Structure 1
């Protein structure tokens, strides 16, 4: 269930850029050869992607084939990667490579002994070309198992330039300025924000950005690992900050009740659809895909973003998500699978999907010119430029029972808080009770 949100959303993000699938640079890729050394071999890759995401990833796989001669076969797992992959391993039909959507699932696979450590070649490239934080999230017990090939930037606030211009406000630099600008937008005739409260995961993203900026990365890491209790004063403070937005009827389109009946695509429609109700919507870079594909908005002109602003004197947050490539020990062609991972570490591989759209790479060596539009370039620059201050989506690090289940855990409790934000301390206590149970199980 947790993964479904990313699958459905990021599959919306391929901005129809109809560009070719050839890798930039033109030179031979050392990872995986370039001399057709893998001719006659087939690499099986499993992942959650479908639709445009699967088509664009296939372009990357085709580029690998052109370099190495190896054929590839992509198997879509649907939402529950761990269950599907586990059953394939038990049935003696393990894929060679899996694109893993959550840190928690990667850790689960490693602890079950399913994964091969990345080759020295791949690890050297990760050390040289990726911020250390990506190696940290791909490692378990000090061993690197996962390569983060595709990332999401979840600290972007999307807005209608026309709505902000009509209100006479500019993109804010702080959270307080954002709420003040929201009131000005509201005074001009539109609500400030469309909030997708029907999808509990969007509320976790609101909380995570506020918490990371306000409490700082050390406490964020501790809370993500449940080494810090949710009853901590820093959590109550972040909930109080979030509650100021939730209870302000001027700021939320339709108020709390309507927000609880608004899913993510509908929240984007309230800003960029034919009958706008709000000037801004907070969510990740994938908002651009929905605005472009469903409402024919030109990104950069009709839809733009500003970074999620700094909260309470803290640093502006950069929260991310992503998909990590891992190699299974039981795959029939794990050796060729590792060659695919070595290829995926290269900027050439990332450039293939970057040109197609709907993609961000954490690879510092990828030329920003590979992206098809200025807004995506700006988003990618922000993600890569954040370096080691990037933090992975907290709910994706948690057990699914707490951080990724509809109608339960953090999703439900933050929906209850949106409905009635009057008791941040009580909500923190409920979050701690749910977290304690989930991390024990």
Structure 2
């Protein structure tokens, strides 16, 4: 799944007061049209969005604290200077609650949607509003493929906000060093390292968790996607997304067998937590904790997982934890990189909503978000790469923009919502929790595919 960054604190609401240093008057419309009092000082850069002081917009997403705290910081100056209050709500049940709210006439002004499949579902309701001209113009700062992910049937609806690198392995430098293991460069090296650690009898090679509220199961879809992409390359991956290659196809069942030999190997998992079944009941947020406790060596998770490490954790090659690029299962697949992202969809075209939409699609906002904290990357080409000071962000940005990479977006996010954020989550969870057969799992997922 994409950026399903469900963190552990309850939803927060941002209420920022207009200050005297950033004067503004009500009236006008989004994108800088209409009249508005001049903004001065540090607020002058927000002049194109002025004219809506005293208004409020609502935003709903799956991002919880502490990451949502950084999200809110990223637009704090905008809100202070323009007087537009952004009321943010995050939920672990976002994917199930958004359709209920939209069809029930209680849609938020904005939703940050991490799955293009869910975006398509929302567009079918007729409630998603096409973006204003300013947002459309800002898309020139993104490579064309990102615009297609925010489009449905060729019509652009939702501007991308973030990009994240899925193909990472977080690890303990100390555990690997003490075991005489160098950072694996190939899949064979990774499996050999896992076997060596398991036989040593200390920390188990792997830890993992796929719990995530109503989105439980999404980390398991990432593991499968990494193996499919790294085994067969982009063409088969694309056919799988389109269901031209079914889950019951030999290629996919073979990929599941590879995954079972990795993350369902009782000798290799679930370090510091429990047995294989415990992966299904462990939240993804808690899954990496045993690394810091010296009970687990590695965790496969995306770049955004950096926000989960406790304050004071040293993220470096000689630190408490670091990360490396997950190698291809098949060495013939060049540099496989799976990524995800989030897209801002609007359910209202009020002027203040359009002003916020324009700002959040801009390079200025993306740069502001990069500055708030590490662990967040944008594929917006207007962002100065020097702003990335964190080594994981630097690694992610380089891989996501590498022209030689076999890059693909998260498959389950691209699949129809009934499958990618529905039956696949459910079935892969049952696979880990109940030991359901691969044949049963794949048949159930195929049967859920919309006709």
What TM-score, normalized to structure 1? 0.81
Pairs within 5 Å for 1:101-116: 101-116=114-129
Task: Tell me if 1:317 matches 2:333.
Answer: no
Gaps of 5+ in 1: 12-25, 421-425
Question: Which of the residues 357, 365, 387 maps onto 2:382?
Answer: 365
Deviation for aligned residue 1:381: 2.7
Instruction: State the partner residue of 2:351.
Output: 335
Pairs within 5 Å for 1:403-422: 403-404=420-421, 409-415=426-432, 419=435
Instruction: State the partner residue of 1:22.
Output: none
Instruction: State the partner residue of 1:202.
Output: 219
Instruction: State the partner residue of 1:46.
Output: 60
Instruction: State the partner residue of 1:267.
Output: 287
Deviation for aligned residue 1:156: 0.6
- Cα deviation code 1:120-169 (max 9, x no counterpart): 4323332x322222112100010111112123321110111111111222
CA distance change for structure 1 residues 110 and 388 in 2, over 3 Å: closer, same or farther? farther
Instruction: State the partner residue of 1:430.
Output: 440
- Cα deviation code 1:342-383 (max 9, x no counterpart): 222222211222222242222122123323522222223322
Q: Aligned pair count?
A: 410
Task: Give the structure with the higher percent helix.
Answer: 1
Instruction: State the partner residue of 1:18.
Output: none
Task: Tell me if 1:277 matches 2:277.
Answer: no
Shifted more, 92-101 versus 214-223: the winner is 92-101
Tell me the secondary structure at the aligned position of residue 57 of structure 1: helix
Instruction: State the partner residue of 1:7.
Output: 6
Provide the C-alpha distance between the structure 2 equivalents of 1:246 and 1:50, rounded to a whole number of angstroms. 27
CA distance change for structure 1 residues 130 and 10 in 2, over 3 Å: closer, same or farther? farther
Question: Which of the residues 366, 371, 375 maps onto 1:355?
Answer: 371
Instruction: State the partner residue of 1:62.
Output: 76
Tell me the secondary structure at the aligned position of residue 214 of structure 1: helix
CA distance change for structure 1 residues 350 and 250 in 2, over 3 Å: closer, same or farther? same
Provide the C-alpha distance between the structure 1 equivalents of 2:69 and 2:57, rounded to a whole number of angstroms. 17
- Cα deviation code 1:251-307 (max 9, x no counterpart): 33469971321413443122112xx222111111233222234xx421112211001
Tell me the secondary structure at the aligned position of residue 150 of structure 1: strand
Provide the C-alpha distance between the structure 2 equivalents of 1:316 and 1:57, rounded to a whole number of angstroms. 31
Provide the C-alpha distance between the structure 2 equivalents of 1:87 and 1:408, rounded to a whole number of angstroms. 19
Pairs within 5 Å for 1:31-430: 33-34=47-48, 36-65=50-79, 69-76=82-89, 78-81=91-94, 84-85=97-98, 94-126=107-139, 128-188=140-200, 189-196=202-209, 200-246=217-263, 248-253=265-270, 258-262=275-279, 263=282, 264-273=284-293, 276-293=294-311, 296-300=312-316, 301-313=319-331, 314-328=333-347, 331=348, 333-357=349-373, 358-385=375-402, 389-399=406-416, 402-404=419-421, 409-415=426-432, 419=435, 427=438, 429-430=439-440
Instruction: State the partner residue of 1:23.
Output: none
Instruction: State the partner residue of 2:33.
Output: none
The answer (yes or no) to whether the contact 1:285–1:379 under 8 Å persists in 2 is yes
The answer (yes or no) to whether the contact 1:182–1:192 under 8 Å persists in 2 is yes
CA distance change for structure 1 residues 260 and 74 in 2, over 3 Å: closer, same or farther? same
CA distance change for structure 1 residues 438 and 6 in 2, over 3 Å: closer, same or farther? farther
Tell me the secondary structure at the aligned position of residue 95 of structure 1: coil
Deviation for aligned residue 1:406: 8.9
Provide the C-alpha distance between the structure 1 equivalents of 2:336 and 2:219, rounded to a whole number of angstroms. 16
Instruction: State the partner residue of 2:22.
Output: none
Coordinate RMSD, CA, aligned = 3.5
CA distance change for structure 1 residues 119 and 75 in 2, over 3 Å: closer, same or farther? same
